[in-house]
Amino acid sequence: MGFSKKALVGSLLLGQTWAALPPVVMKGSKFFYENGTQFYIKGIAYQQDSAAAGKSTGSTKFVDPLASASNCKRDVPLLQALKTNVIRTYAIDPKADHSACMKLLDDAGIYVISDLGEPSLSINREDPKWDIELFERYKDVIDELSKYDNVIGFFAGNEVTNQANNTGASAYVKAAVRDTKAYIKKNHKRWLGVGYAANDDQAIRAEIAHYFNCGPQQDAIDFWGYNIYEWCGDNTIEGSGYAKQVEFFQNYSVPVFFAEYGCNDIPGGAAARKWEETTALYSDDMTGVFSGGIVYMYFQETNDYGLVEVDDDGNASVMKDYAPLQTKIAAVNPSSTSMDAYTPTNKPAACPDTGDSWEVKGSALPPTPDKNLCDCMYKSLACVPSNSLKEDDYKKIFDEVCGADGDACEDINRDTVKGVYGRYSMCDAKSQLGYVLNKYYKNQDENEDACDWQGSAVVIKPTAVDAACKDIVQSASASASDKNIAGQVSVERVVSMGEVALGLYVVVAMAVGGLLVL
């Protein structure tokens, strides 16, 4: 179906004067404009080359959807015609200029919720970690997008845990939630939420929702996004399972919404979508619990979820399912309450018990990445990796050292089941390897042969460190001693390669498939 861009621009944008959008805030389990009017998300996922439901395109490249003014000029009218008030982006380049697109979106009444990772730098369910490099990426995205009042918040992870055998990865996502929330509170003047987008896996549905909501609330999510594709074709709230979702989340203490929806597993594919679920989502049957949802997705790709197809010349044409969604979303009129009239009563959930379907203990979390601590620690070492040692060979040395002396590796170990995380487990691989080599060397009374490992390690004179560095390292040592962070971890855990393994050499291979899967 063709689409007249000029006509839409004329009818929707020209002649209208938009003030800067008021920030959206949360209170209890609902979103509100700052003036107290309840806010429901009527969203579209807006990013090329992104895969639905946590799947991967196999690419580490991405196109920043907010960096091209010409693309935004083309697409914003089409989004606005769908009554869109939120777009979800999955990866942006924090160094790019987003001002033109953000202004176009603001003028059209559209807010942004963005994932914090990108394909080659995200929390990977197969090898999870929360480290300095990743935290820097998250902070950079926050600093860039926080400039704009039409940003609601961020997802710290997208389907990182997607089945029972990788639940340990959620500990690292929740550590990211904790640290990004603290960073926002310290460095930015207004509320920006940090949430998580989960898949709909029945085996872990309750555990993961409770986990991200439990414990100290400064560590817990601000909102819960649900990637859900249960309603396919003709269905009902009961038949689709939506009624069960309403029942489950009715006592959830933070806002819940569909972070992705729009099943295409029907005869005719996405083109045959009728969007009956959209009507249901904004009906009284659901709005008491859910704060709207985000349709997957704007761009037509090989996965066949698109509302709009962009040809090789950059021209946009709407797909067959565009008009039905336009009709459905225009007809919704969700019931609302005012912020002053609303008194939250829901309480945070209890943390799930560990077991076959959940491998994270309570509210214990990995440490906050601290580059100063890692740098100061490394400067104090007398035995370090040789300059000729390649990162590809780190694992072999880790295995040898930790197998010979488990004590040497306690401070870099991680075990989500026991809830113990070494104080240096957030450092980069070279710093961690230096630490264990030096610890082994010290444990062997600085015998010269204890710092060799077939030429992989060398004895050096420690760099002179200032008083501030000494204080940082001593403070970390005291904290680790007080908390007994790594004292109960076995050597077998240290050299394990499973999901709760050290991940000591994890910098070497950052596979796609965690936080952001494109």
Other C-beta atoms closer than 10 Å to the C-beta of 147 total 11
Spatial separation of the C-alpha atoms in residues 495 and 400, rounded to whole Å: 9
Question: Which residues are CB-neighbours of 313 under 8 A, at least 6 positions away?
Answer: none
Spatial separation of the C-alpha atoms in residues 364 and 387, rounded to whole Å: 36
443-451 long-range contacts (CB < 8 A, ≥24 apart) are: 443/405, 443/407, 443/408, 446/382, 450/383, 451/382, 451/383
Q: In what order do the strands lie in the sheet with 30-33?
A: 24-27, 30-33, 38-39
Tokens standing for residue 348: 């945070």
Is residue 34 part of the annotated active site? The answer reads no
**Residue of 118, 144, 207, 260 marked active site:** 260
Is residue 247 part of the annotated active site? The answer reads no
Measured CA angle at 124 (ends 121, 130), to 5 deg? 70
Tokens standing for residue 243: 């009624």
Percentages helix, strand, coil for the chain, rounded to the nearest 5? Answer: 35, 15, 50
> β-strand 38-39 against 30-33: which pairing, if any?
antiparallel
Strands (E), 24-150: 24-27, 30-33, 38-39, 41-45, 86-89, 111-115
Beta bridge partners of 67: none
Question: Which residues are CB-neighbours of 315 under 8 A, at least 6 positions away?
Answer: none
Spatial separation of the C-alpha atoms in residues 113 and 150, rounded to whole Å: 9
Measured CA angle at 306 (ends 33, 45), to 5 deg? 25
Strands (E), 204-358: 223-227, 256-261, 290-295, 308-310, 316-318
**Residue of 159, 207, 301, 410 marked active site:** 159
> β-strand 316-318 against 308-310: which pairing, if any?
antiparallel
Q: What sign does the dihedral 73-300-60-221 (CA atoms) show?
A: positive
Closest C-alpha to 305, from 4, 3, 50, 2: 50
Backbone angles phi, psi at 195, to 5 degrees: -130, -170
Catalytically active residues are: 159, 260
